[in-house]
C-alpha cells in the first residue's frame, strides 16, 4: 500500500505542476515582438514583424503579422492569418487531430472550459473539506480501512457502484419503499465525499512525509495538501477521468468497510477468539 501511495503521490505532484503550467499558459496569449523560445500561447499583432525562429512550448501561436523564420510548436496549434517565411511545425493541436483523429489532444479546448472545470473542482473540494469537518471520526476510520485493506476497499467500492441501480429498482418495485430511493442517493453521496476526504488525507500525509520525513502533518494540513494534489491530477485531460473514477471507487469502498468490524486476524487474534499459540517450537521427528 505504501508503494502504491508513493507512486500516486508522485503522479499527483507531477499532474499538479503540469496543470498549473498548462492552464496558466493558455489563459491568455501574450504579444511578442521578436523570435525565441516561449512557454504558453503567444500572438503576433497585425503589421508586426518578428525576426528569428519562434519556438513555443505548451501553447498556441496566433500570427496576424509576419514571422521571418521557422515556427515550432509543441503541445499546441498554429493559427496563421499572416505570413511565415520559414517552415511551420506543430506537435499537438490541429496537426495531430488531422493526421491521427483518435489521438488525445495535449492542449485544452479553450481557456473558459479549463476555468469552468477548475471552478467545479474547487467547489467539490470545499464540500469535501466541510464533510471532513462534520464527520472527522468516520473519515479517519475510512483512512484506517484504506491503509489496512486497500484491495478489499476497491472490491467493496466496485460492489457498491454495481449494486446501486439494482437496489434502486428493487425499492421501486416494492412501491412502499420508494421514499428510500432518495435516501440511497444521499448515503452514496456522503460516502463519495467522505471517501474522497480519506484518500486525500492519505495522499497528503504521504506527500508531506516525503518532504519532511521527521515531521507529521496535522489532519487538516494533510487533507488540504491531498485535495490540491488530487484536484491537479483530476484536471489532467483523459487521465483525470481515470483518477476521478479510481478515487470514487476506492473511497466509497473504504467508507463501506467502516461499518464492518475489523477482522480478528487484523488485531492479532485468530478467528476462534483464542489468543495465538506461543511457546518453544515443537520438535520434529
Read off the DSSP letter of residue 133: H
Q: Quote the pLDDT of residue 110.
A: 43
Task: Report CA-CA distances (Å) from 278 to 262, 271, 275, 281, 282.
Answer: 23, 16, 9, 9, 11
What distance in Å separates the CA atoms of residue 223 and residue 210, rounded to the nearest whole number?
Answer: 15
Q: Quote the pLDDT of residue 105.
A: 43
Q: Quote the pLDDT of residue 33.
A: 86
Mean pLDDT (whole number) for 19-35: 63
Q: Quote the pLDDT of residue 251.
A: 93
pTM for this model (two decimals): 0.56
Minimum mean pLDDT range among 67-71, 106-110, 146-150, 198-202: 106-110
Where residue 41 falls among pLDDT bands split at 50, 70, 90?
A: confident
Q: What is the pLDDT of residues 45-66, one digit of tens each?
A: 998 999 998 988 778 899 999 9
Mean pLDDT (whole number) for 176-197: 92
Mean pLDDT (whole number) for 134-140: 93
Q: Quote the pLDDT of residue 74.
A: 73
Q: Give the number of other Cβ atoms within 10 Å of residue 148's Cβ.
A: 15
Which cell numbers in the block locate residue 275? 489468543
Where residue 262 falls among pLDDT bands split at 50, 70, 90?
A: low
Judge contact between 32 and 14, C-beta under 8 A.
Answer: no
Where residue 121 falls among pLDDT bands split at 50, 70, 90?
A: confident
Where residue 116 falls among pLDDT bands split at 50, 70, 90?
A: low
Mean pLDDT (whole number) for 223-244: 85
CA atoms within 13 A on the CB side of 263: 8
What distance in Å separates the CA atoms of residue 42 and residue 63, rounded to the nearest whole number?
Answer: 9
Q: In what order do the strands lie in the sheet with 88-91?
A: 36-39, 54-57, 71-74, 88-91
**Mean of the per-residue pLDDT values of the chain:** 77
Amino acid at each position: 500500500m505504501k508503494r502504491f501511495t508513493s507512486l500516486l503521490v508522485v503522479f499527483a505532484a507531477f499532474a499538479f505542476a503540469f496543470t498549473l503550467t498548462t492552464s496558466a499558459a493558455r489563459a491568455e496569449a501574450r504579444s511578442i515582438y521578436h523570435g525565441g523560445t516561449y512557454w504558453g500561447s503567444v500572438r503576433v499583432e497585425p503589421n508586426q514583424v518578428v525576426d528569428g525562429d519562434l519556438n513555443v512550448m505548451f501553447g498556441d501561436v496566433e500570427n496576424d503579422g509576419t514571422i521571418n523564420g521557422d515556427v515550432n510548436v509543441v503541445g499546441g496549434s498554429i493559427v496563421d492569418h499572416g505570413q511565415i517565411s520559414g517552415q511551420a511545425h506543430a506537435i499537438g493541436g490541429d496537426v495531430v487531430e488531422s493526421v491521427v483523429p483518435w489521438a488525445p489532444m495535449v492542449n485544452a479546448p479553450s481557456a473558459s472550459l479549463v476555468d469552468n472545470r477548475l471552478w467545479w473542482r474547487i467547489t467539490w473540494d470545499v464540500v469535501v473539506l466541510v464533510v471532513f469537518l462534520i464527520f472527522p471520526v468516520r473519515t479517519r476510520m475510512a483512512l484506517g480501512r484504506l491503509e489496512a485493506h486497500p484491495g478489499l476497499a476497491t472490491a467493496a467500492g466496485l460492489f457498491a457502484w454495481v449494486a446501486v441501480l439494482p437496489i434502486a429498482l428493487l425499492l421501486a418495485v416494492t412501491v412502499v419503499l420508494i421514499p428510500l430511493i432518495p435516501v440511497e442517493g444521499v448515503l452514496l453521496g456522503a460516502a463519495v465525499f467522505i471517501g474522497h476526504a480519506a484518500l486525500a488525507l492519505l495522499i497528503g500525509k504521504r506527500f508531506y512525509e516525503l518532504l519532511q520525513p521527521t515531521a507529521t502533518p496535522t489532519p487538516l494540513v494533510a487533507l488540504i495538501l491531498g485535495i490540491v494534489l488530487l484536484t491537479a491530477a483530476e484536471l489532467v485531460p483523459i487521465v483525470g477521468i481515470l483518477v476521478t473514477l479510481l478515487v470514487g471507487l476506492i473511497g466509497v469502498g473504504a467508507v463501506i468497510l467502516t461499518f464492518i468490524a475489523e477482522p480478528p486476524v487484523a488485531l492479532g487474534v485468530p478467528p476462534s477468539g483464542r489468543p495465538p499459540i506461543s511457546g518453544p517450537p515443537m520438535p520434529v521427528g
